[in-house]
C-alpha cells in the first residue's frame, strides 16, 4: 500500500475546520495548542498560519478520540464517567 501524499488531504484554515466541526474558531485555535490541552488537534504551520489536514489519519484519530471511540485512553486520561475531570 502506498504512503499517503500531502495532496491526498484537504488543507483547511482554523476557520474552515471550525465550520466543519460546528464550533467557534477560537476553540479550534485553543485546542491546537499543546499548552492548552494534553491531546491537541494535529496541526502544521505555514509560517505563522495554522493549517489542518482534513481526512488525514492523524486528524481522524483525534476526532475518534474526542468522540469517545477509544474508551480505554479516555478513561486513563480521566473521563467524567470514572470520577475524573476533563
pLDDT, tens digit (0-9, with 9 covering 90-100), for 69-83? 754 544 455 545 555
Q: What is the pTM of this model?
A: 0.70
Encode pLDDT of 13-70 as tens digits: 999 999 999 999 999 999 999 999 899 999 999 999 999 999 999 999 999 999 887 5
* Longest Cα–Cα distance in the chain: 43
Assigned C-alpha cell, 48: 505563522
Among all chains, which residue has been given the C-alpha cell 475531570? 85
For 6, 7, 41, 49, 52, the CA distances from 31, given in Å and listed in that order, are 23, 25, 6, 15, 12
Could you give the strand order of the β-sheet that contains 10-12, starting from the edge strand earlier in sequence? 10-12, 49-54, 44-46
**Residue 4 DSSP one-character state:** P
Amino acid at each position: 500500500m502506498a504512503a499517503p501524499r500531502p495532496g491526498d488531504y484537504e488543507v483547511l484554515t482554523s476557520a474552515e475546520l471550525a465550520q466543519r466541526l460546528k464550533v467557534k474558531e477560537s476553540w479550534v485555535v485553543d485546542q491546537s495548542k499543546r499548552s492548552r490541552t494534553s491531546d491537541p488537534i494535529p496541526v502544521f504551520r505555514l509560517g505563522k498560519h495554522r493549517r489542518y489536514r482534513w481526512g488525514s489519519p492523524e486528524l481522524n484519530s483525534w476526532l475518534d478520540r474526542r468522540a469517545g471511540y477509544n474508551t480505554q485512553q479516555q478513561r486513563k486520561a480521566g473521563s467524567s464517567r470514572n470520577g475524573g475531570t476533563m
